[in-house]
Structure 1
Amino acid sequence: MSGRVHAGLTIVAVVFTTYLVAGALVWTGPVEQPIVFIAALATYLATTWLCIFWDAAPRTRPVASGTGSGDDDEDLLRRGGELPLWACVLALAAAAVVPAATWYAVAETARLEPFATWSLGGIGALLTIVMVRRRVIVAWAGLVLLAISSAAWIGVVGALTLGLVGAVVWVVAAQLLMALVDRAAVDTAELTGIQRRSSEWLASQDGRRRERRVRVQQALEVAGPVLIRTIETDGLLSETEREQARLAEGTLRDELRGPRLLDESVRARLHEARRRGSIVTVLDEGGLDDASGDALDAIRADLARALEGAASDRIYIRTSPHESVAVTVVGRSLEGGDPDADEVVDLWHEISHPGDDAR
């Protein structure tokens, strides 16, 4: 519950229990043991206020989202702090001793007077507080003790007509109220989790839309002039224009397949390699999703150095899911330039994640 509601309920509990004690001081009949009577009032008031104030700050506990999304994340649900065990023992002792001490202190003829039966409502209020402090069994055990004590001192009928039923009703109402509050809190936590995941999904979709717009703009910038020229000439391109189309196609493939590996320096090295006649393949197969901006800059700089002057017939650049290797660069060429010969590896370079020593 919120801080304002918690503070408001605390004030109400303090005022109400103080009112009950004040009403018990209005003696309308003989009190044979006033010291015992006053001690019972003081014990009740001290016990009640301890149960109200001791360690009463709301706690957080994990609650499963329950949305059926399959996510493992959990939300934190705030709820009132449980009453300490020693305070529970003190509350049970008060439920057993205070009513008995009150009726012992007054004359037998005054035991049915309102000032003598205050303990039925007072202990009922105490056990209601115990119930609100998440000690269900203790609250019901206290009611049993109160029922036994009151029945022994003023009879079953007197106990039922002078406040025991009201005490039971208060405790039952508190238990139902806390169950409803907990259910509402769980529902709120679930709805909050759904809203958060929806916001994250919308943000990711918005990011993907922006990325697609950027990719489309880049594609138009790279391939637009070539496509316009192709349409104008009805596909009859010169050798120079065909070469430009081949370079534009390779650039587009790079932007689509490995955008996280690219910066201006890497793009320039790839363009130079293709101009030298190399067939370059760039693939981002994962492994860089968690890399920071500085780490990506270091990887790209290393990649640009590895590609500088590379003259292999085929160059393969792939990211790696390996824990230490970020990117692998492999170059293959025909042995001796013979078209009938097998390809040999003439370039091998591994780029490790920044901070790793392995190469």
Structure 2
Amino acid sequence: MNRSVRGVATALAVGFAIYFAARAIWWTVQPIAPLLMVAAILLYLAIVVTTVLIETPDGLRMPLWWGVIAVAASLAIPFMVNASLMPLHRTAPFATWYIGAIGVLSVTCIVRRRPVIGWVVLAALVISSSAYLGLFVALELGLVGSIMWAVVAQLLVLFWDRAVHDTEHLAGIQRAVSSWHAIQLVRQRERRLRVQYALASAGPVLARTVAAHGRLTDEERQDARMAEGRLRDELRGASLLNDAVRGAIREVRLRGSAVTVFDEGGLDELDEERRDQIRDELADVLASADAERIIIRAARDAHAAVTVVGRTGAGDSSDEDAVGLWHVIPREADAAK
């Protein structure tokens, strides 16, 4: 779309430049220095066409050094035109072509993202045309139109830049929403897989428990507790679990400890490699844990990814002496060193 808009703007600028050049050579009175008039026309065409077509690494923005040349040309062209005519003929229709022509140059500079250069070119036109024709005469002969073109061009550029910015912002929001939606679909699929895994492993034991109305042997009762714990872990643990963590939790429970897993999204923003490192570290911590109750929590925190707390006594949560294990796994791998 940018290319098509630029193509239309280029065609309009070149078309207006050719129009004013053709108007300039439609002499109704012979200039006293025709070669000087022709030189002014050729200089104008060269300046406008180059201003429209010059390429830069910044894309649309015109080089500053060329803007300085455009300002110099906007001062030279009115001088050359008026110097080639007698004072009596300077208000003839063909003699005032430079007023609209330099107005086009000003608009082109503004559109090429050099608004200061464009307004300086317009100021040079106002000064030179007022000096040769008088301010009110110049206004009557087209200076008002050149000023209005520059104002409209400036407003259009501002509105266009704002529209482009808003479009890019909305596109960014749409990409973020699409990414979030895709992540949610993946997480839902992962949760379904975890529930299926939990039901496949714990379902038979729980089904036997229900069928027996709770009348189980000691071995079956322990299997039921382990199955219930696995089911809770799969539902609450989300991204904290892998085979190593599951095995470590099972061993801790077999030793008689109670294990509770809470996943509150602490690993959501981490990449998969760091998640694997955290799970492996969690499995190592659980392998050597010796506490009656172990709480594994992955909360949304700026620094800690997972916190493991082990309680060895029957004191309440405010009793610091009852804390037998305290291990924090940081979010960043560097912080763990």
Query: Where does residue 38 of structure 1 map in the other structure?
Result: 38
Query: Where does residue 75 of structure 1 map in the other structure?
Result: none
Letter matched to residue 196 of structure 1: R
How big is each residue's C-alpha offset from its partner over 1:130-185, in whole Å with a ceiling of 9 and x where there is no partner? Answer: 22233445434433432343344344564344332332332233223223323322
Instruction: Find the partner of 1:248 among 227, 237, 243.
Output: 227
Between the aligned partners of 1:53 and 1:207, the Cα distance in structure 2 is 49
User: Looking at both structures, which has the greater relative contact order when contacts are Cα pairs under 8 Å and sequence separation is at least 6?
Assistant: 1
Question: Structure 1 residue 293 and structure 2 residue 281: aligned?
Answer: no
C-alpha distance 330-117 of structure 1, shift in aligned 2 (>3 A): closer
What's the CA shift for 1:207?
A: 3.1
What's the CA shift for 1:31?
A: 1.8
Between the aligned partners of 1:187 and 1:121, the Cα distance in structure 2 is 34
C-alpha distance 241-357 of structure 1, shift in aligned 2 (>3 A): same
Query: Where does residue 17 of structure 1 map in the other structure?
Result: 17
How big is each residue's C-alpha offset from its partner over 1:218-276, in whole Å with a ceiling of 9 and x where there is no partner? Answer: 34324433443343333333333321221012212322343433222332333233234
Question: Aligned to 1:258, what secondary structure does the other structure show?
Answer: helix
Q: How does 1:183-222 map to 2 (within 5 A)?
A: 183-222=162-201
Query: Where does residue 182 of structure 1 map in the other structure?
Result: 161
Question: Aligned to 1:270, what secondary structure does the other structure show?
Answer: helix
What's the CA shift for 1:84?
A: 4.2
Query: Where does residue 2 of structure 1 map in the other structure?
Result: 2
User: In percent, how many aligned pairs have the same letter?
Assistant: 46
CA RMSD of aligned residues (A): 3.8
C-alpha distance 180-297 of structure 1, shift in aligned 2 (>3 A): closer
Aligned residues: 329
C-alpha distance 132-308 of structure 1, shift in aligned 2 (>3 A): closer
What's the CA shift for 1:126?
A: 0.7
Between the aligned partners of 2:83 and 2:154, the Cα distance in structure 1 is 32
What's the CA shift for 1:297?
A: 3.6
Q: Which deviates the most, 278-287 or 12-21?
A: 278-287
With normalisation by structure 2, the TM-score equals 0.77
Query: Where does residue 122 of structure 2 map in the other structure?
Result: 143
Q: How does 1:34-113 map to 2 (within 5 A)?
A: 34-55=34-55, 80-81=60-61, 83-113=62-92
What's the CA shift for 1:33?
A: 1.8
What's the CA shift for 1:209?
A: 2.6
| Uncovered stretches (5+) of structure 1, i.e. residues with no partner | 60-79, 335-341
C-alpha distance 163-57 of structure 1, shift in aligned 2 (>3 A): farther
Between the aligned partners of 1:165 and 1:352, the Cα distance in structure 2 is 68
- On the 8 A contact 2:109/2:117 being kept in 1, the answer is yes
Question: Aligned to 2:113, what secondary structure does the other structure show?
Answer: coil
What's the CA shift for 1:122?
A: 0.9
What's the CA shift for 1:123?
A: 0.8
Letter matched to residue 143 of structure 1: L
How big is each residue's C-alpha offset from its partner over 1:302-354, in whole Å with a ceiling of 9 and x where there is no partner? Answer: 5545655877655555669696x8767676768xxxxxxx9795x88887889
Instruction: Find the partner of 1:275 among 241, 245, 254.
Output: 254
With normalisation by structure 1, the TM-score equals 0.73
Letter matched to residue 125 of structure 1: V
- On the 8 A contact 1:287/1:322 being kept in 2, the answer is no
Which structure shows the bigger proportion of residues in helix conformation?
Answer: 2
